[in-house]
Structure 1
Amino acid sequence: MIGQLITILERIIRNCLPKSKWGERIGGAILAAACVGISVAAPILILAAAYRIQWWLGILAEGFMCYQILAVKSLKTESDKVFRALKEEGLEAGRKAVSMIVGRDTDSLDEAGVTKAAVETVAENTSDGVIAPLFYMMIGGAVPGFAYKAINTMDSMIGYKNEKYQYFGTAAARLDDAANYIPARLSAWMMIGAACIWGLDWRNAIRIYQRDRHNHKSPNAAQTESVMAGALDIKLAGNAWYFGKLYEKPSIGDAIRAVEPEDIRRSHKLLYGTAVLAAGAFLTVKIAILALLMTV
């Protein structure tokens, strides 16, 4: 629904404002404000009505909303389709499967390239789709969770530096950078903890994190990618094609060993381990805050 809202708002705003650099930047800012505002107002109204009827109905409604915001299982399921496609149907099927979860061009990727794309997606979305929503739900429940979800969805849809969204997507991209700044860094350290629990190379994860966490134009994307690369002893990122254009990007990690499809399954261990650690940590913080407030 948020994605459909963004599409509708974009069409309306583009028809109303001039096709100039500043016209598109202003239009993108209006879209960002409207999308976040509507995405927050809707759950506020629904929850207010539910809690007014019965407190338990409000709890059920908010619990369902929070469930919808998290993407742990869907992230694992969609990336696992890439693994199964490579192992059971071959490279072409793997390319098609990974094209469903990444923005880059996949037609020329080899098996290692397809695997890397899937692993990078799991790494980045462990923060964007799991830890960041948990962080904002810890702060205030479903409402800030949906505010974050609107911001992140806008970035995934219009936060590109291509001809169409170079200026129109600026506000969405900057807002996403700000919203993910703290969660991305928390995600990185929790992923290091998960690597230790699973017996992966957590020492190398720390080393690569400290060295390569800024090897991305986004201030946040390389935080978890660097940990993932270090924990798995592989090299990620590097040059990639988007919309028919080659973008030169620094690599992340060291090629201590060759990338293999099984790395997708290994990334799932880090995904779930990080999610469990974050849920436990945020719940502990929430309980401590509530206990403190009750004593004041």
Structure 2
Amino acid sequence: MKYIAVSLGIGFLLDLLFGDPYWLPHPIRFIGNMISFLERKIRNFFPDTPGDEIAGGAVLVILVLVVSTGIPFGLLYLAGRLHPYARVALESLMCYQLIAAKSLRTESMRVYAPLKKGDLEGARKAVSMIVGRDTENLTEEGVTKAAVETVAENTSDGVIAPMLYMALGGAVLGFFYKAVNTMDSMIAYKNEKYLYFGRVAAWLDDICNYIPARISAVLMILASGILRMDMAGAWEIYWRDRYNHASPNSAQTESVCAGALGVQLAGDAWYFGVLHRKKTIGDAKRPVEFEDIRRANRLMYGTAVLGLLLFLGLSILLYRVLFRF
């Protein structure tokens, strides 16, 4: 507990500098592979009835969480027995791998680059790597909106929420959160295959993101003012449209981003060949343009820095309270 703030700060700086190199083995890929493996095995033991699929999904959630937190806990324990600084070094590396700010910027800018060149097909291909919707028929505006929405939503899921959990419980609690979030992204679809099997994962993700999403929104509003964006618009649209999404959490930061940029996001989208009617978020004060991807990333980084300062203070305060007696 004593060194959590140090590890979180170092991890944030490492992510700022290096992001997630593709050659470096990433624990989230391991968690994803484990989810896929366990899903295949568990489905063999549970009949295809709603109740049994929910039970099977619950078993998967429990197993994934036990492994995803047990391994880092064990490694950190052994490192601490070796030397306290060895634990700090290992936990810093873990914190670094749990924060996704630079990779979020990198992947969204892969969409920005072909858009700037007028290469719509290249932009569609790039955005298909970071969104779940059908992208083959998206217009330039649709591609841009998808990228901006991804940056806005993942400011919470990929940056602020992991830092909050790490501030409270170090890398172990951070891995707990990332395991929940990864299961949500893989098995929590509302389609025939996952409607029941992924229900527990979706429910747990909503709970784990409830507070972080709202903290993220407040920090993003503050960041919009610091960055001289439309802070008043960010607050107005947040208060009006923060629930314009099927998820109770996703529109929290999307609404702030839409208001800060003065654009309209969300709306109808195609998933697996099926049109899903969705509410819009924000007002179309101007057309969406590809430069909004860069602006959304600036807003994400501003929010991340404010979050880091807040959570470092929270971690230090928590340590002092817990070990005062």
Alignment deviations for residues 114-160 of structure 1 (CA, whole Å, 9 cap, x no partner):
00000000000000000000000010100000000000000011110
Shift of 1:88: 2.2
- Matches of 1:205 and 1:79 in 2, distance apart? 21
Give 1:264's aligned residue. 293
Task: For residue 56 of structure 2, give the secondary structure of its aligned residue in structure 1.
Answer: helix
Residue 38 of structure 1 deviates from its aligned partner by 0.7
Cα separation, partners in 2 of 1:26 and 1:295, compared to 1, 3 Å: closer
- 1:100 paired to 2:129: yes
| Distance in 1, Cα, partners of 2:171 & 2:197 | 28
Q: Kindly indicate whether residue 313 of structure 2 is the aligned counterpart of residue 275 of structure 1.
A: no
- Choose from 38, 43, 49 the match for 2:72: 43
**Partners in 2 of 1:97 and 1:48 — Cα distance?**
40
CA distance in 1, matches of 2:275, 2:258: 22
SS of the residue 1:246 aligns to: strand
CA distance in 2, matches of 1:142, 1:268: 25
1:14 to 21, 39, 43: 43
Deviates most, 163-172 or 183-192:
163-172
Q: Deviations over 1:213-248 (max 9, x none)?
A: 010110000000000000000000000000110000
User: What is the SS of the residue equivalent to 1:241?
Assistant: strand
TM-score, reference length from structure 1: 0.98
Letter in 2 for 1:30: V
Picking from 222, 226, 233, the partner of 2:251 is 222
Identity of aligned residues (%): 58
2:44 partner SS: helix
Match of 1:284 in 2: 313
Structure 1 match to 2:207: 178
Whichever residue aligns with residue 144 of structure 1, its letter is L
Distance in 2 of aligned mates of 1:56 and 1:34: 31
For 2:96 and 2:231, the matched residues in 1 are separated by 30
Q: Which runs of 5+ in 2 are unaligned?
A: 1-29
In structure 1, distance between residues paired with 2:186 and 2:112: 25
**Secondary structure in 2 matching 1:9:** helix
State the AA in 2 paired with 1:191: M
The 5 Å alignment of 1:71-150 reads 71-88=100-117, 90-150=119-179
- Which residue of the partner structure matches residue 253 of structure 1? 282
How far is the alpha carbon of 1:286 from its aligned partner? 1.6
Instruction: Name whichever of 283-292 and 97-106 sits farther off.
Output: 283-292
Taking structure 2 as the reference length, what is the TM-score of the superposition? 0.90
Counterpart mapping for 1:50-61 below 5 A: 50-61=79-90
**Distance in 1 separating the partners of 2:292 and 2:141:** 10
The count of corresponding residues between Structure 1 and Structure 2 is 296
Determine the C-alpha separation between the residues in 1 that align with 2:323 and 2:76: 24
Deviation of residue 294 (structure 1)?
A: 4.5
1:207 to 221, 231, 236: 236
The one-letter amino acid of 1:237's match is A
Q: Give per-residue Cα distances to partners, 1:1-55, cap 9 Å, x unaligned.
A: 0000000000000111101111111111111111011101000111111111111
Residue 168 of structure 1: which of 197, 200, 206 is its match? Answer: 197
Residue 63 of structure 1 corresponds to 92
2:282 counterpart letter in structure 1: G
41, 45, 61: which is aligned to 1:32?
A: 61
Aligned amino acid, residue 270 of structure 1: L
In 2, the alpha carbon distance for the partners of 1:89 and 1:205 equals 30
| Whole-angstrom CA distance in 1 between matches of 2:153 and 2:249 | 9
Code of the aligned partner of 1:224: T
User: What amino acid maps onto 1:243 in structure 2?
Assistant: F
**Whole-angstrom CA distance in 2 between matches of 1:133 and 1:279:** 11
Dislocated runs of 4+, deviation >2 Å:
288-296
Alpha-carbon distance in structure 2 between the residues aligned to 1:156 and 1:180: 13
Cα distance in 2 between the residues matched to 1:249 and 1:293: 45
